[in-house]
Structure 1
Amino acid sequence: MIRFDDVTKVYRTDGHRRTILERVSFTLKPGVSYGILGINGAGKSTTMRLIGGVEAPTKGEIHRGLRVSWPLGFAGGFHPQMTGRDNVIFVARIYGEDPRRVLDFVEDFAELGSYLDVPIRTYSSGMGARLAFGMSMAIPFDCYLIDEVTSVGDARFQKRCNEVFSSRRKHADVIMVSHSMEVIREWCQQGIVLLNGRAIVYEDVNDAIELYRRLNA
């Protein structure tokens, strides 16, 4: 279960105040996959980062009763001065996983070769995404977050990503952001529509998609 209790998220830049979520409360149930919908700028990616703990709410609390991944392909949580190898070991220990097992998996999956032993700051965005995706697959999560990233790299690597992730999905939920309503409908049973700082949860994802299409008409 993931529960938002009276959550507000505000950004302040250059004297301007932008409210993304305002006193939002809702519960995401285990065993259900959700699609997060909204027009551009509604706060979809911000909400995803809040769910994953990448960002903290300005006010309110977020309770997680299950193990939630960071957004797939998101490399922003790595320490740029540390090597890929040291980052993998560090993250594995945070999650209480065997560092050797996780490192072996990531080393084989990400196919970074000697780059695993150089600082993350030298990585291209694609290399960082490969490392982050490999880490996400190496650690078993109850819920995976997908923010428009379902595969990285060339066609062969994408095939490997899809195969491994399909295996993980058999035992885990998904919370995703996508501009493709076909993908949302295929992967998700319920939907969350973000609108003017509110979050409206629909038990039928088709109802969420219908509202989203009306908002974009």
Structure 2
Amino acid sequence: MIVTDHLTKTYWTHLKRKVVLSDVSVNLDTRASYGLLGQNGAGKSTFLKLIAGTEAPTSGRIYRSVRISWPLGFAGGFHPMMTGRENIRFLARVYDADIAEVTEFVEDFSELGRDLDMPVKTYSSGMTSRLAFAVSMAIEFDFYLVDEITAVGDSRFQLKCARAFAERRARAGLIMASHSTGTIKEYCSAGMVLQKGRLMVFEDINDAIEVHRQAMEA
């Protein structure tokens, strides 16, 4: 389970306090696949980072009984001065994964070749995305977080990514944030709507989509 206990997250922007989450208490089934919907700026990305543990709440707590990924393909965890290989080894240690196995997988999957031994700061955005996705697939998680599915590489590499992700999610839970209701329905059976600091959870993704549609039209 993933349990949020009176979770609150606020920011100060231009001398104004912005409430992203307000006293949110929910229990999420880590075997389920949730589609996360919300208007632009609602805080979907922030919520995923809170669940991942890469961002701290203002108040409240999150309890996790399973190993949760960082947002899929998120490159913010890479140190730009370290090489791709050094970043791989560091993340494998953080998640207590086999360093040799993770490195071998990323070497093969990313197709970055000798560039893995170059500092990440020298990478193009495409190279960084390849590395980020490869590392995300190399480490087995019980629950995956996805913040908008974006195309990585050419069509052949995109197909490889899709197959790898399908294999992982077949045996794991998921939260996927997306503006595309079609994509949400393809991947998710349950849903969540983030609106004005409130998080509403629905067992049926269609109910979440309808509530989100009404909010968009209001």
Asked whether the two chains share a fold, i.e. TM above 0.5, the reply is: yes
**Tell me, which stretches of 5 or more residues in structure 2 are unaligned?**
none
Q: Which residue in the other structure is 2:123 paired with?
A: 123
Aligned partners of 2:6 and 2:24 also within 8 Å = yes
Deviations 1:134-184 (A, max 9, x none): 011111111111111254111110011011111111111111011111111
Q: Note the C-alpha offset of 1:16.
A: 2.3
The whole-number CA distance in structure 1 between the counterparts of 2:188 and 2:75 is 25
Deviations 1:10-37 (A, max 9, x none): 1123422111011111011121110111
Specify the SS of the correspondent of 1:152.
coil
Aligned partners of 1:72 and 1:150 also within 8 Å = no
Aligned partners of 1:102 and 1:135 also within 8 Å = yes
Report the more deviating stretch, 8-17 or 175-184.
8-17
| Letter matched to residue 53 of structure 2 | G
The whole-number CA distance in structure 1 between the counterparts of 2:162 and 2:196 is 35
Q: Which residue in the other structure is 2:112 paired with?
A: 112
Specify the SS of the correspondent of 1:114.
helix
Specify the SS of the correspondent of 2:133.
helix
Deviations 1:61-120 (A, max 9, x none): 111111111111100011111110000001111111111111010011011111111111
Specify the SS of the correspondent of 1:11.
strand
Report the more deviating stretch, 62-71 or 13-22.
13-22
The whole-number CA distance in structure 1 between the counterparts of 2:92 and 2:78 is 12
1:53 aligns with 2:61: no
The whole-number CA distance in structure 2 between the counterparts of 1:52 and 1:150 is 19
Specify the SS of the correspondent of 2:103.
helix
Aligned partners of 2:38 and 2:44 also within 8 Å = yes
Q: Which residue in the other structure is 2:161 paired with?
A: 161
Q: Which residue in the other structure is 2:23 paired with?
A: 23
Aligned pairs (5 A) from 1:198-213: 198-213=198-213
Aligned pairs (5 A) from 1:5-16: 5-16=5-16
The whole-number CA distance in structure 2 between the counterparts of 1:164 and 1:194 is 29
- Runs of at least 4 residues of structure 1 off by over 4 A? none
Aligned partners of 2:69 and 2:136 also within 8 Å = yes
Deviations 1:173-201 (A, max 9, x none): 11101111111112111111111111011
The whole-number CA distance in structure 1 between the counterparts of 2:181 and 2:100 is 40
The whole-number CA distance in structure 1 between the counterparts of 2:39 and 2:94 is 35
The whole-number CA distance in structure 1 between the counterparts of 2:12 and 2:130 is 32
Under a length normalisation based on structure 2, what TM-score does the superposition of the two structures give? 0.96
The whole-number CA distance in structure 2 between the counterparts of 1:105 and 1:60 is 37
The whole-number CA distance in structure 2 between the counterparts of 1:207 and 1:163 is 29
Aligned partners of 1:73 and 1:133 also within 8 Å = yes
The two structures, once aligned, show a CA RMSD in angstroms of: 1.1
**Tell me, which stretches of 5 or more residues in structure 1 are unaligned?**
none
